[in-house]
Chain A
Amino acid sequence: MREIAVVAYSQSPCVADAGATNEVELIMPQLQAVYSQLGLASAQDVDFVCSGSCDYLQGAAFAFVAGVDALGAVPPIKESHVEMDAAWALYEAILKIRMGHADSALIYGFGKSSPGELPIVLSQRLDPYYLAPLWLDTVSLAALQARLLLDQDLVSERDMAAVVARSRRNAMDNPLAQLAGEFSIEELLAEEHFVAPLRRADCCPVSDGAAAMVIATVEQARAWGAPYARITGIDQRIENHNPCLRDLTDSVSTRQAAAAAGVHRGPVDVAEIYAPFSHQEILLTRALGLDDSTLVNPGGGVLAGNLMMASGLSRVGEVFRRIVDGKAGRGVAHATSGPCLQHNLVAVLEGA
C-alpha cells in the first residue's frame, strides 16, 4: 500500500463567536496558510480536495457549497465532502491516494457553531422517532455517561478536575486556544455543577473556526521538500448511537480502531484525543491503551477550544506538528463523532 504523509497543516484560533465572518472567510486564511507552507498557489496544485462540515451548525442547507468558493475551482477540481468531522474527509482522501487516483490531497473542515445553540442543535441527531423529540442535548447525554463512571468508581470528580487543570495549563502555551489559565483542582471542584455531575469546565467550549491540511504520497512530500509525518495507520469504527444500548463506561469502537490502526506497534510519545468532556479523556486514554509515558493533549485539547467538524482533523494536525518540530517520534490522533463517543477514528503518525 502506498505510504502517505501529512505535509502541511493550519488551524484558526478557537473563538466563541467569529462574528461577521462567513464560511469562505473562515476557511480561506487556513487554505492560504497550508499553501504557503508548501509553496502552492491554490487547490489546483493538489490532486483531490475533501472537506467536512455540517449544514445544521449554520442552519442553512448546502453550507458546504459555499466552501467551494474558497478553492479557486476553475478549472474544475476533483472534490468531495463528508457531512462529518473533517477527520473522516482525511480518511476518504487517504483511500483516494491509496487507489492511485491522487498523489496529494487538500482536506479542510469548518464550523461556525455560534449562530445556534450547539448542544440543542445536536439533539436532533438522535433517533427521530424516539429520542430527538425528547430534545436530549449533548451535555446532558455526556452527564449521564459521567454519572455512570463516577458511580462505578472508574473516575472521580477529582480526576476530572485534574484533566481540566492540565488542559487549561497546557493551553497557556497555545495561542489558538479559547480557554487557558492556571487553575488548581480545588478551585475547579469548588465551582457549582452545571449539568450534574458535570461542571462548566468539564465541558468543551463552543468555538468557531476552521482547519486545513495537505497530505501526499511520501514521494510527493519529498518532491515538495517540506517536513512531513507518515500516516502509518488509520481506522474508524462506529457503535450504536443509542446510549442505552452500549456500555458508556468504555469505548469499544475506539479499542477496535486503535488495534486496527496499530497503536501498540510502537511507543506513543504523544496523543491528541478528541474528548469534549473531561471524563471522556480518561475513558479514551484507557481505551487507547495509553500509560504515563504518553503526553496527552499538550496543547490543551478540545477542552481549550472545540471547532465542531474540524477538531478531529486538528488532532491529526497537532500530532503532525509535534513530530515535524522534533518533539515526538510517534504519535496517536483520535477523533470522535456522535453522542457519547459513538464513532471513533484513530490515526498513527510517525516521523520521516
Chain B
Amino acid sequence: MAERAAVVGIGQTRYKTRRNDVSIAGLLREAVDRALEDADVSFADIDAVIIGKAPDMFEGVIMPESYLADALGAMGKPMLRVHTAGSVGGSTAIVAASHVQSGTFKRVLTVTFEKQSESNAMWALSTPQPFSVHLNAGAGGYFAPIIREYIRRSGAPDDVGIKVAVKDRRHGARNPLAHLQLPDITEQEVRDSMMLWDPLRFLEACPSSDGACAMVIAAEDSITGSKPPAWIRGVAMRSEPTMYAGREEVNPQAGRDCAADVYAQAGITNPRRDLDCAEIYVPFSWYEPMWLENLGFAAEGEGWKLTLEGATSLDAGGDIPWNCSGGVLSSNPIGASGMIRFAEAARQVRGDAGAHQVDGARLAMGHAYGGGAQFFAMWIVGADKG
C-alpha cells in the first residue's frame, strides 16, 4: 500500500570536534545545500521539512526547529521535529519517508544535526535526580556492564573490541568526511589507550562531533538528479522500556523484532547473504559483535567470530562489510549519527560512496539505536525498486 520512495539527494558536513566556523543554522545549511545539489533541486521543489536531533539540552536551544525554519527553506511548508533519543537520526529518516510513502507529498527534505560543542553534553545527560546516585559515569558507564555480560556469555576473546576499533578507524580513513582520521592505527595502540570503563578503552569509544546530515526523499514520479536513486525497500521502528524485570539487555528484543520486520518488507531471509553491506550504529567497539547477533548476521554467541574472521572488514575483503564509512566510532554528531548510517547505506547502493564503496553493492541496511539500547530504527535501501 505504501507508495514507492527513494533517496535522491544526500549531503553531509565534515565532522569534527568543534565547528566554530559556522552557526547551528550554517552547519545545517552545509549539509542541506549539498543534499539539494545532489538531488538537483532547490528549496522551491521541497514540499515539507523533517528535522531531528537528540535532546535540546545538547545545544541549550529549545525546539531549535523554530529558529531554523527559515534557514531550512521551510517557510509556508509543513515541518516536523522528531526526537527519539540516539536513534533519532534513523527515526527522522523514517518519518520523512512516511511523508512520501503515505502519498501525501512528492519530495521532502530531511536533516539531523548535533553541535555538541555549543554546550556540555555530559552535563545535559546528568541533570541530578534524587533517586539515583550521581556517578556521572556517562554513556560508557551505562553500556560497559552490558558489554561485560556479553563477554561472559559468549566467551569472546578480549581483543574483539580492539579489532573493531581498528577496522572502523581504517574504514574512516577512506572517508574524507570522517571526524577521526587514523589511517595508521594499530591494535597495540588501541590496547594501550586508557581504560575508561572497563572493558572499554578510550579508542574503543566514539568521539563527540559537530555535524549534520541531510537527505532528499522523493516519490517514484518525482525522481531527480543524475545519480541513481536508492529505493527504500523497508522501514521499521521498535521501542521497549529502559528497565524491566528480566529485560534482555545484551540482545534486546526490540532490536530483534525491528530487524525481523524490516527484513520481511525487503524480502531478506538471510541478512549476511542477502545484504551487500550495512551501516550499523556501533558507538562502542563491542557493539559490533553484539549487533551481529541481535540483527541475525550470526547465531547467538557467534558474532565475534565474524569480526575476527574479517567478514565485516572492507580492507580484509569481508563478505559483509559493516560501517565502511567509519561508522559512529569515527564520527558521532549524536542526533545525526543515525541518519548518517541511513544515508551511507543509500550512498553504497547508489554506487556513490567514493573510496569506501563496496563493489557492486545493490542492497544495504541502515541502523540506529538509542536510549538504553531500547529505541531502534532500521531501513533497507536497494539499487532496485524491489
Contact = CB atoms under 8 A, between A and B. Distances in A.
B257 A68 contact: no
Nearest to B70: A240
B239 A76 contact: yes
Nearest to B99: A95
Given A56-B56, A237-B76, A239-B76, A125 B62 contact: yes
B101 interface: yes
A238 B74 contact: yes
Interface in A238-258: 238-242, 245, 252-253, 256
A65 B206 CA distance: 23
B76 A256 contact: yes
A73 B58 CA distance: 27
B95 interface: yes
Interface string A296-325: 000000000000000000000000000000
A125 B61 contact: yes
Given A80-B95, A239-B75, A125 B102 contact: no
Nearest to B86: A62
Given A62-B371, A95-B102, A236 B78 contact: yes
Nearest to B59: A128
B360 interface: no
Question: How many of chain B's residues touch chain A, expressed as a range?
Answer: 35 or more
Contact of B63 (A62, A83, A237): A83
Interface string B156-197: 000000000000000000000000000000000000000000
Contacts, number: 185
A223 interface: no
A256 B76 CA distance: 7
A56 B124 CA distance: 11
B1 interface: yes
A121 interface: yes
A83 B240 contact: no
B55 A62 contact: yes
Contacts of B66: 125-126, 241, 337-339, 342-343
B24 A84 contact: no
B69 interface: yes
Contacts of B3: 99
A79 B242 CA distance: 14
A91 B99 CA distance: 10
B34 interface: no
Contacts of A83: 56, 63, 81-83
B77 interface: yes
B78 A78 contact: no
Contact of A56 (B62, B82, B85, B239): B62
A235 interface: yes
A91 B80 contact: yes
B17 to A, nearest CB: 19
B73 to A, nearest CB: 11
Contacts of A94: 102
A200 interface: no
A240 B74 CA distance: 9
Considering residues A128, A236, A239, which has the most beta carbons from chain B within 10 angstroms of its beta carbon?
A128
B91 interface: yes
B79 interface: yes
Given A81-B84, A92-B98, A95-B102, A127 B67 contact: yes
Given A76-B253, A240-B70, A121 B85 contact: no
A126 B69 CA distance: 11
Contact of A125 (B63, B83, B236): B63
A92 B91 CA distance: 12
A190 interface: no
B257 A129 contact: no
Contacts of A342: 66, 69
Contacts of B374: 65, 68
Nearest to B127: A60
B241 A68 contact: yes
Contacts of B58: 61
B69 A100 contact: no
A128 B64 CA distance: 9
B74 A61 contact: no
A131 B60 CA distance: 13
Contact of B79 (A65, A98, A126, A238): A238
Contacts of B59: 128
A91 B28 CA distance: 24
Contact of A252 (B55, B69, B76): B76
A35 interface: no
B226 interface: no
A173 interface: no
A52 to B, nearest CB: 10
Contacts of A59: 127
Contacts of B65: 238
Nearest to A132: B61
Contacts of A132: 61
Contact of A79 (B57, B60, B118, B239): B239
A196 to B, nearest CB: 25
12 contacts: A1-B103, A61-B127, A62-B371, A75-B257, A76-B258, A80-B237, A92-B95, A101-B98, A124-B60, A125-B61, A128-B118, A252-B76
The 8 nearest A-B residue pairs measured at CB: A100-B1, A98-B102, A76-B254, A79-B239, A61-B55, A83-B83, A125-B62, A76-B240
Interface of A: 1-2, 49, 54-56, 59-62, 64-65, 68-69, 71, 73-84, 88, 91-92, 94-96, 98-101, 121-122, 124-129, 131-132, 235-242, 245, 252-253, 256, 337-339, 342-343
Given A60-B129, A92-B95, A125-B64, 11 more contacts: A73-B241, A77-B240, A80-B237, A83-B56, A88-B81, A95-B101, A98-B103, A99-B102, A339-B66, A342-B69, A343-B66
